[in-house]
Every structure is written in C-alpha cells, then in structure tokens.
Chain A
Amino acid sequence: SQTIHQWPATLVQPVGSPLSLECTVEGTSNPNLYWYRQAAGRGLQLLFYSVGIGQISSEVPQNLSASRPQDRQFILSSKKLLLSDSGFYLCASRGQGSSPLHFGNGTRLTVT
C-alpha cells in the first residue's frame, strides 16, 4: 500500500516569508497527486493536482504554486506568505481509475 510522507508537521512563518512544503509518495507509480488546504473548522479546499511530472492544474487563484519534479514528489511553494495562507495543508495521492485518495499527515501552517 502507498505511504505519503509530508513535512514538516507544523510550521510558523512570518508574513512575507517564502514557503516550501514537500510531499513524497512510496508504494505506487505514476500516482495522481494533490494539495489540499483546510482552514480551521472548514472543509477541504483543493489547491493543485497533478497527473504526471511537470503537469500541474491549479484550482484556485492565489499566491501559491506547485511543482512536480519527479513522479512521486510534489512541492507546494509561495514566494511571499499572507496571513490568509494559514491552515492545514494536506498532500494526497491516488492511483489511476476509481481508486480512493490517501492523505499524508499534513502540515499545520501558521502565518504570523
């Protein structure tokens, strides 16, 4: 079964600082990869998804970007964080077809 590694678990960053969150996946090849964000007490918001290396679909206009330099690596970045970027960031992976999503443990980001 696949395992999704996400780090760090928690992060406190000042407004205007850059961000880089990394996610790696084990136990599967050519997965679809996702970044979600969840604000406190809210539902999941899809930020980006990728069906292959270098292929990124953005779901929400924002100051975040994503990259997929390798098949099982997905990176979420920002050049300048905003207060509104605070939240729980989740990386997820799924195989092809109708397979379910599997989530990493998440990164709780607080922008101060």
Chain B
Amino acid sequence: RKEVEQDPGPFNVPEGATVAFNCTYSNSASQSFFWYRQDCRKEPKLLMSVYSSGNEDGRFTAQLNRASQYISLLIRDSKLSDSATYLCVVNRPGGGADGLTFGKGTHLIIQP
C-alpha cells in the first residue's frame, strides 16, 4: 500500500456544485497534514493545513479522520478558478525524507 494515496481523477464538476475528495495515508504515526493546490505549469501553493477538529477557510473545508486514516477536502459553490490539481501532504516526524510525503494529486475541472 502506498504511503499516501489520492484518486487522480479527473473530477469534472459543474460550476456552483460541491465537490469533495479524500487522501488516505498508511502510517498511523503521521502527525500533520496539508492540502496544496497546483495550477498547470506552476508551483504548488499551500491551500490549508488540516487540524484534528477540522477547519474551514471560506468555501473550503478540511477534515481529518484518524481512525480511518484519511483527510478530506470539500469545496462548496465551486468556481471555474478552482480548476487545478489538489495535492495532499502527510508529515510523519522521524520518517524518511524529513517525514514529508506527497500524494500524486487529484485533478479537478470545474465546467461552466
């Protein structure tokens, strides 16, 4: 099982809809989690950290389920500008590569 897994998509979603996708991780010692957004031919940019109690930033909600070992990202009232690849990052202190592992990303396409 891969350490961090994401459905690559693409998710084709009409504008205004709500979309959610998950990221599963295999190591229960993982301690911190992040969602990044990457536009085509650009660098990844931090979208939000994921806190144990869940957190919201405008139209974006991130949640952590430690029991089932996954994090989720929900986007409400999706905009055309939300089209991007969404990467999850899992941090496991003491793990290899400084403990950071990236998922391969979920490609989201918002359609007008």
User: Which A residues have a C-beta under 8 Å from some C-beta of B?
Assistant: 32, 34, 42-44, 46, 49, 51, 57, 59, 88, 90, 94, 98, 100-106, 108
Contacts and interface: CB of A to CB of B under 8 A. Distances in A.
Given A43-B104, A106-B42, A106-B43, A100 B34 contact: yes
B89 A101 contact: yes
Interface residues of B, number: 21
Interface in B62-105: 87, 89, 91, 93, 97-98, 100, 102-105
A46 B97 CA distance: 8
Given A43-B105, A103-B45, A106-B42, A98 B97 contact: no
**Interface residues of chain A: helix, strand, loop or mixed (majority):** strand
B43 A44 contact: no
Given A49-B98, A90-B43, A98 B89 contact: no
B97 A59 contact: yes
Interface of B: 31-32, 34, 41-46, 49, 87, 89, 91, 93, 97-98, 100, 102-105
Contacts of A34: 98
Given A32-B98, A49-B98, A88-B41, A100 B105 contact: no
A37 to B, nearest CB: 12
B46 A100 contact: yes
Given A46-B97, A106-B43, 14 more contacts: A34-B98, A43-B87, A43-B102, A43-B104, A46-B100, A59-B97, A100-B34, A101-B89, A101-B100, A102-B46, A103-B44, A104-B43, A105-B43, A108-B41
A100 B32 CA distance: 9
In this complex, the member of A44, A94, A102 whose beta carbon has the largest number of chain B beta carbons within 10 angstroms is: A44
A44 B102 CA distance: 7
Contacts of A101: 34, 44, 46, 89, 100
